[in-house]
Structure formats: C-alpha cells, structure tokens
C-alpha cells in the first residue's frame, strides 16, 4: 500500500460513524435536543444565535427518517465522523512538519484520533443532536488551514490558505458564536503573513471571503416572515431590533464575562475537572513533550495553538452556564494535537520505533474501556420518558406551565413534530418574559391567547422598554408578568405547573399532585386525584449517574416517593 494514510482516513470516518450510530441517543436528549429537532422539521428559527448553518444542514436530514429527532442525531454522528477524518489528516501534516516519515507513525495518528473522538465530551457531540459538533468540525478545519498557511511552499499557496481560513471563520460564526475564540490567533496569522508579503489584493479577497458566509443569517428573517411563520419561531426576527438581539445573544449576556473572582475560580476548577475526565492520565504527562516538539519546529504554529486554546479557556470560564462542557472542545482537541507531536518526537529519539505505535494503541485501548459506559446512550431515554410522562399526567385540554427547559423543550417537540397530545397547551414560564413569545402562543394556542389578550397591551409596552434598553418600571413589569401567569392558571381551564416551578399560589389556589405535575385548583378538595401510570423505558432509573439526570430524577422522587 503506497499511501496508507489516505485509506486510514476513510477507516477513521467509517469506524467513528458506526461507533456514534451504535452509541447514539434513541430519541430526545436533554437541553436543546427537542427544539433543534423541531426547527429542523419545520424549518424554524432556533434560539439565539440562530445557528443558520446547522439549520440549513439539518432541515434536509429530516427527509431521510420518520422521526426528525433520529434523523438529526444520525446527522451529528456523520458530522463528527468527518471531523475525525479531518483531525487525522491534520495530524498527518503535523507528522511531516516534525520530519517523521516512519511508515508506522500513521498508526499513532489513528490511535490518537480515536482517543480524542472517544473522549466523553467529544463523543457526546456524535450521539445527540447539537450544534457543537459542526462547530468542532469547522474549528478543526480552521486550525488545519492555518497550519497550511504557515507551511505552504509558495506565496500563492499561503495566500490561498489564508483566504480559506477567513472563509471558514465566517462559516464557523454562522454555526456558533464561540468561533470568536479563533479571532486572536487568526489576527496574529494575518498580520505575520502581511508583514512578510503585503498585498492589497489579498486583503481585498479576505474581506468578502469572511463576509459572504455571514449572509447565511438572512435565512432567519426569511423564515420568520413566512406566511404563516413556522411553529418554532424564536425571537420573531422580522425587525432589525429583534434580529440584532437574536444573533448577538442579547439574553445570554447576563452570564458572559459578568462574574467576580470567586465564581471564576469555581468555573476554572470545573474546567480542570472536565478536562481530567476526558483522557487517561498518561496523556497529560505527554503534553509538555508535545509543546516542546511543536515550538522547536514552528514557534508561530505553537503560538497559534496556544493562543487559540487560551482564548477557548477564557471564554469558557467566563460563561457561567451548567452545560459548559461543549465549550471546551477546542482545548480538548488541541491537547491531543500536542500529545501526538510529543509522541512523534519521542519516537524519533527511540531506536525501537515500534514502541511508540504500540504505546499509542495501548493508550487508545485504555481510553475505549474507560469511556464505554459513559459514551453509550442507546438506553438513555430519560429526557423523552419524562416529557411523555408529563403528558400522561395532564387531563385533556389542560394548560401545562413549566420553567424547566429540559421538560418544556422536549414536550413541545413531541406535540408539534410527532403530534402527541395536541389537546395540551405547553407554556414556558420564562419565555413569557419575551415579547415575541406571545406571537407563538397566538398561532399555536389561539384560544389560550384570547384568555390573556386584555392583559398584554400594558405589559408589552413596558416590556418593549426593557428589551430596547430604555428606562422601565421593574415593579410594574413584574406585576403584569405575574398577572398573566395567574390568568393562565386560573381562567384558562384545567391547569398544571411543573415541579420546581418558581410559583407561589394565591390565597384561593391549591396545588394537588397528579403524576409529575401539580394541578392548580381554586377550591380545596381533599380527594386525591387519579394517578397516571408512568412509563420509564431504557436503563433502570438508578443507573443514570450524570448530574442532569439525577437532578430530574430527584424531582420524580419528591413527587412520587423513593424510586
């Protein structure tokens, strides 16, 4: 075989695609799973920042499978398999930079590729539907193109790769705004290149290469202005203020770069804990050797990797959200790039060259055994089970008010995409704080909207001041908001609240448990409500060990008693 690395790249793709397919979630996962699947099904507008590139790719995927959630989950596995192939070829280029031509070294590249893509946070992107897998793929291509910019043999080649980097950066920002982590390194690369070979022609090519992909954001207002708008139409981005707030992530800024030293220290310790659980410990011992190996051969490439990783870490520890793991994907990958370089360098110092490939394979075996249970999601049905059991708990035609995104998101998907319990009316309590959400209620639940229509003019007037940054009366805004919630729970027919809802019943309201919900009654009744039969598929409930599952199961225990 003259060029085994080419064949090996496709082997990496096939093995990872099969691995992710076998280990994928069978249905809905937690967090944004339901919303993203619904947006793919109806070509809707997802939550900020809109993710137009992911949306455009996920919509046609739903044509290939009956359940949209399964289709987009399989798409995630394919995307991550391509990311694995790209990473393998990237490491092959690094091997050539390190002047290593030993035929067995491609085995090291394969083993370290699999070790990375079996790391729990990385593997999660291939077994559920999220936007981070696509962001990871484009991010690896950005680093790969940066590397080619530095190592191309002629000026024209370096210019072409630099233009490609900026094009990929534009694409990356159409998937997830954490792509800003590449901008510092990209700025360094561009300045160094222009100092060596300044060209207005290059600058003139870079600008459209970066800007043209950003025009994909136009798909959001185009879909939002459809007649009728899609049922999933987050932000109603048909006006410039709404569009700007949406794509800039306005509502998330309260958690970004807003914490003091104490919280930052907690976030930093959480980052180290996440990182430690991605690889066997020998990987971290090899890291210094890889840093030295890269800087010995190309100090500028070492700087680019280090600056990108530093930017990624700074962004992650300054964003205080529970589901921060996926934000550190770039750091997890960069560590493996350094480790691979370290192994190749150590291999050049050892006369018995088979030792390093054998060690890499043993390290991969260690990783595969260590993460097998964590990566297997084939029986992880809790998110969908919980949503379906909420549906089982509610009487016909009832209103269900929730503030738990893990429940509301999945239940709304099951209703709108798969037509489960179309009689119910699911209301997200926190989204009642957003003006655009009332348009969704009016379209999806028109009779419910009619019950609160008279309360909206004054509330929306005050809310518009808040959303536009004008001076507003917080007490008045909160009073109107609570009035809407009370109206939904007392005047709109049978109503329920989800467990953990931050709601204090009024003096004439009584909460009565029914399944996984509390029914809101206006008279005191001591007779217990009929309890639905709850169905839990998949693994036994005591086998869910991750914090999010345990948090949800703690709600079940408090509602129903010990599991």
pTM for the model? 0.94
Identify any residues that bridge with 514 across adjacent strands, giving them in sequence order. 517
d(CA 36, CA 43): 10
**Cβ(169)–Cβ(183) under 8 Å?**
yes
**Cβ(56)–Cβ(110) under 8 Å?**
no
% residues pLDDT > 70 (the chain): 96
Whether the pLDDT of residue 562 is over 70: the answer is no
According to DSSP H, which parts of 33-154 are helical? 33-42, 52-61, 68-97, 105-118, 120-127, 132-151
What is residue 353's DSSP assignment? Answer: T
Phi-psi region of 333 (alpha: psi -120 to 50; beta: other; left: phi over 0): alpha
Residues 30-84 pLDDT 10s? 989 999 999 999 999 999 999 999 999 999 999 999 999 999 999 999 999 999 9
Whether the pLDDT of residue 433 is over 70: the answer is yes
Write out the DSSP string of 500-545: T------TT-EEEEETTEEEEESS---SPPPPPPP---SS-GGG--
Distances (CA, A) of 521 to 11, 207, 336, 514: 61, 61, 57, 12
Identify any residues that bridge with 519 across adjacent strands, giving them in sequence order. 496, 512
SS (H, E, C) 170-238: HHHHCCCHHHHHHHHHHHHHHHHHHHHCCCHHHHHHHHHHHHHHHHHHHHHHHHHCCCCCCCCECCCCC
Write out the DSSP string of 409-473: HHHHHHHHHH---TT-EEEETGGGGSTTHHHHHHHH-HHHHHHHGGGHHHHHHHHHHHHTT----
% residues pLDDT > 90 (the chain): 74
CA atoms within 13 Å, Cβ hemisphere of 346:
20
pLDDT for position 505 = 67
What is residue 497's DSSP assignment? Answer: E
pLDDT for position 321 = 86
pLDDT for position 563 = 44
What is residue 253's DSSP assignment? Answer: G
Of residues 505 and 514, the one with the higher pLDDT is 514
pLDDT for position 528 = 81
Domain spans, the chain: 4-237+248-375, 382-560
pLDDT for position 200 = 84
Taken as a whole, the chain contains a residue count of: 563
Report the sign of the C-alpha dihedral through residues 439, 440, 444, 447, in that order.
negative
Question: What number of other Cβ atoms are within 10 A of residue 460's Cβ?
Answer: 13
Residues 239-250 pLDDT 10s? 999 999 999 988
Residues 337-381 pLDDT 10s? 999 999 998 888 887 678 889 999 999 999 999 999 999 999 999
Identify any residues that bridge with 521 across adjacent strands, giving them in sequence order. 510
Helix (H), strand (E) at residue 384: helix 382-393
Which residues have a Cβ under 8 Å from the Cβ of 330 and sit 6 or more positions away? 136, 139, 181, 308, 309, 312
Dihedral, CA of residue 470, residue 474, residue 479 and residue 481, to nearest 10: 60
102 Cα distance to chain centroid: 39
Which residues have a Cβ under 8 Å from the Cβ of 95 and sit 6 or more positions away? 105, 106, 109, 340, 344
pLDDT for position 490 = 85
Residues 225-275 pLDDT 10s? 998 999 999 999 999 999 999 999 887 777 777 788 899 999 999 999 999
Pairing mode of beta strands 495-498, 517-521: antiparallel
d(CA 28, CA 21): 15
> Across the beta sheet with 399-402, what order do the strands follow?
425-428, 399-402, 495-498, 517-521, 510-514
Which residues have a Cβ under 8 Å from the Cβ of 321 and sit 6 or more positions away? 255
Distances (CA, A) of 531 to 267, 311, 518, 559, 560: 42, 52, 11, 11, 10
Identify any residues that bridge with 233 across adjacent strands, giving them in sequence order. 45
Residues 532-550 pLDDT 10s? 889 999 999 999 999 999 9
**Surface-to-core class of residue 79, CB atoms within 10 Å of its CB (0-12 exposed, 13-18 middle, 19+ buried):** buried
Of residues 555 and 122, the one with the higher pLDDT is 122
Smallest Cα–Cα separation from 340: which of 148, 97, 146? Answer: 97
d(CA 516, CA 13): 42
Which residues have a Cβ under 8 Å from the Cβ of 62 and sit 6 or more positions away? 40, 41, 68, 71, 72
What distance, in Å, lies between the first and last C-alpha atoms of the chain?
58
Whether the pLDDT of residue 198 is over 80: the answer is no
pLDDT for position 524 = 76
d(CA 146, CA 313): 20
């Amino acid at each position: 075989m003259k060029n085994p690395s080419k064949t090996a790249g496709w082997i990496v793709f096939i093995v990872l695609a099969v691995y992710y397919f076998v280990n994928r979630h069978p249905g809905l996962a937690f967090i944004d799973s339901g919303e993203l699947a619904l947006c793919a099904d109806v070509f809707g507008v997802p939550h900020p920042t809109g993710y137009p590139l992911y949306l455009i790719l996920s919509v046609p995927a739903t044509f290939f499978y009956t359940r949209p959630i399964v289709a987009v989950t399989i798409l995630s596995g394919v995307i991550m398999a391509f990311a694995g192939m790209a990473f393998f070829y990237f490491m092959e280029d690094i091997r050539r930079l390190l002047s290593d031509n030993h035929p067995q070294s491609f085995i090291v590249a394969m083993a370290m590729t699999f070790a990375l893509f079996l790391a729990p946070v990385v593997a999660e992107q291939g077994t559920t539907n999220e936007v981070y897998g696509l962001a990871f793929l484009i991010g690896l291509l950005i680093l790969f193109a940066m590397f080619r910019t530095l190592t191309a043999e002629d000026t024209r080649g370096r210019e072409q790769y630099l233009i490609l980097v900026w094009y990929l950066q534009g694409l990356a920002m159409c998937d997830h705004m954490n792509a800003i982590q590449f901008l510092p390194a990209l700025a360094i690369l561009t300045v160094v290149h222009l100092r060596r070979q300044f060209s207005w022609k290059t600058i003139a090519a870079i600008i459209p290469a970066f800007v043209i992909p950003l025009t994909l954001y136009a798909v959001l207002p185009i879909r939002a202005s459809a007649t009728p708008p899609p049922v999933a139409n987050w932000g109603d981005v048909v006006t410039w203020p709404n569009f700007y707030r949406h794509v800039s992530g306005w509502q998330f800024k309260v958690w970004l770069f807003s914490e003091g030293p104490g919280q930052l220290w907690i976030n930093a310790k959480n980052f180290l804990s996440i990182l430690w659980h991605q690889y066997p410990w020998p990987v971290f011992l090899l890291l210094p050797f890889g840093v030295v190996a890269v800087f010995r051969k190309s100090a500028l490439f070492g700087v680019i990797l280090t600056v990108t990783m530093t930017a990624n870490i700074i962004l992650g520890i300054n964003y205080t959200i529970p589901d921060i793991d996926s934000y550190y994907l770039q750091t997890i990958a960069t560590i493996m790039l350094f480790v691979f370089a370290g192994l190749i360098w150590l291999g050049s110092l050892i006369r018995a060259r088979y030792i390093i490939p054998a060690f890499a394979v043993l390290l991969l075996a260690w990783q595969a055994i260590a993460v097998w249970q964590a990566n297997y999601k084939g029986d992880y049905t809790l998110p969908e089970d919980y949503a379906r059991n909420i549906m089982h708990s509610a009487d016909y035609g009832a209103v269900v008010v929730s503030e738990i995104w893990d429940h509301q998101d999945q239940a709304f998907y099951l209703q709108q995409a798969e037509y489960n319990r179309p009689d119910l009316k699911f209301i997200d309590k926190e989204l009642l704080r957003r003006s655009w959400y009332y348009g969704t209620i009016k379209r999806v639940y028109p009779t419910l909207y009619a019950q609160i229509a008279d309360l909206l003019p004054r509330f929306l007037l005050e809310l518009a001041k808040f959303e536009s940054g004008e001076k507003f009366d917080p007490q008045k805004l909160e009073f109107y908001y609570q009035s809407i919630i009370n109206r939904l729970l007392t005047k709109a027919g049978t109503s329920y609240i989800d467990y953990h809802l931050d709601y204090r019943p009024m003096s004439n309201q009584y909460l009565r448990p029914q399944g996984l919900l509390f029914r809101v009654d206006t008279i005191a009744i001591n007779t217990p409500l009929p309890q639905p039969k709850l169905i839990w598929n998949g693994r036994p409930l005591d086998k869910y060990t991750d914090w999010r599952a345990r948090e949800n199961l703690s709600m079940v225990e408090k509602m129903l008693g010990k599991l």
